[in-house]
Amino acid sequence: MMHTVGTTKNAVEVRVDLAHSGAAHRISQRPHLLTLAGEALSGLTVDGAHLIITQDMGRTIGYDFVIEVSEPETVFYAQLVKETAFTPLTKKGAPASTSLLTIVLRHNNEDGYYLEDVWPGPFRPPLPGDVETHVDSKSYWTSHAYVFEDQRLKVNTITRECPY
């Protein structure tokens, strides 16, 4: 189900698939991300095939659940439900409020863009093992973890051993 997110400063329409995109899951958990993305896009000029934009919204927009971890023994790994990559998680620490919004766009080969992903907080590379794994993924995710709260995990995948 395609939904219009907004239009950029240079009059380019951005749409999102609310059922089958990376952004769909985050938006279903935090619907205000759709409004924030539309607001951010209205002030941006976009050009290129694949864009990663971190926009300071000028006010607190939510919480960043990824924190730097200095004690590796506090981290455990698991696959989240509907995911194949292992996510590092920690029960130590707390999410931090943020004014940053990260938006990932891909040109749709027509006249607009698809919103691939959106989250509160700065850019971070995809998890190792993810389809979009980045050259910096492993180094980043061995020193960062999501604050564990109520994420749905595949219980049989929980481990203390780093899978990457």
Residues contacting 100, CB < 8 A, separation 6+: 54, 55, 56, 57, 61, 64, 120, 121, 122
Determine the pLDDT at residue 111.
Answer: 79
Predicted confidence (pLDDT) per residue in 5-26, tens digit = 999 999 999 999 999 888 998 8
Cα–Cα distance between 164 and 153 in angstroms, integer? 18
Predicted confidence (pLDDT) per residue in 137-155, tens digit = 999 999 999 999 989 999 9
Predicted confidence (pLDDT) per residue in 77-131, tens digit = 999 998 899 999 999 999 999 999 999 999 998 779 999 999 999 999 999 988 8
Model confidence at 134, in pLDDT bands (50, 70, 90)?
confident
Task: Return the percentage of the chain with pLDDT > 90, whole number.
Answer: 83
- pTM equals 0.90
